[in-house]
Structure 1
C-alpha cells in the first residue's frame, strides 16, 4: 500500500475523507477530533476466529459513493466506482469507521459473535479509483498478523507516549 501511495501521481495529492456513522449507533466515548463524539457503527466478528477480530467486510456497497453529491446510484462495485470517477475524477477517498467495541451479533446468528473489544475501534476503508490506464504498478503483499510480543510492544509504546504527553488516555485525532 505504501508503495502505491508513494507514487508521484497528481491524483494522490488530494483526498476526500469521510466518517461513516450509524443514525442509531451509540455515541463514541472519545471525541473523533473536531467532530466530537460520533455515532458508531456495529461490526460483529466471525465465530471461531478467537485470535483476531475478523469482521469479513468493513465497507458496504454504497460507501464507495460516500462523497458523491446526490443520491447513491444503484449498481455493483464497478458501476459505483465508475459513477464516482465521473462525478469526482480520480480523487481517492479515505473512510473512517468508528466501531462500537460491543457490536453485538444479530439475534439468531450462527456465524457471528459480539465484537467484545477492550475499546472502540477505528476501521479504515480506502477507495482508490486510479484505473490501470492511468499508470501505477500492481503491488501485492502478504499481511501477517502481529505476534503477541509485537502487540505488547506496540501497546507499551502507546502507553509510554501517553505518559510522556501527560495524558490519562490516548486521544483520538
Structure 2
C-alpha cells in the first residue's frame, strides 16, 4: 500500500518552508533555495491541519520560545543516515559541534568522517534535526543545504554566533 504525500507551506523569517509527510510523521522540512529539496509533486495533497503542530512549534522556535522540537518524525534514509540524524538531536540549542566531534560521538572511524558529513548534508529535516549546528573544525560555516546565509542566521538566532554589526 502506497501512502499519499501530504504537504503544507509555512511562512518564516527564512522564507516559505515546505513540510511533507505521509501520515506517520514529518518526512521533510525544506528551506527556500535548498539543494535537492523536494518539490510538490503530482498527486500530493495539501493538508495544513496535518502540520498544525509543526507550524506551532516552528512559530515558537522563531519567536525564541522553543529550543527543542517534539514532533513525530518519519524521514527516509539508510540506517547509517538515521543514526547520524538522531545524533543531531543531541546538539544543544545555542551550541555547535564539528563533523569530527559528531563522528567521534557516533564511534565512527576517522576515515569515515566524510560519510558522517554526507549524512548530515542529506538530512531532510532542516531546523527540526539541527544540522545547522555542525560546523567545520576551524569554526567555518561549512555547507548547509539551506545555504550558508541561512545557517549563519539560525546560529545567530540561537545565540551560537554573535550578530554581525552593519557598518554604514
Tell me the TM-score normalised to structure 2 length: 0.27
Query: Per residue, is there more helix in 1 or in 2?
Result: 2
Tell me the TM-score normalised to structure 1 length: 0.27
Task: State the structure with more CA Rg.
Answer: 1
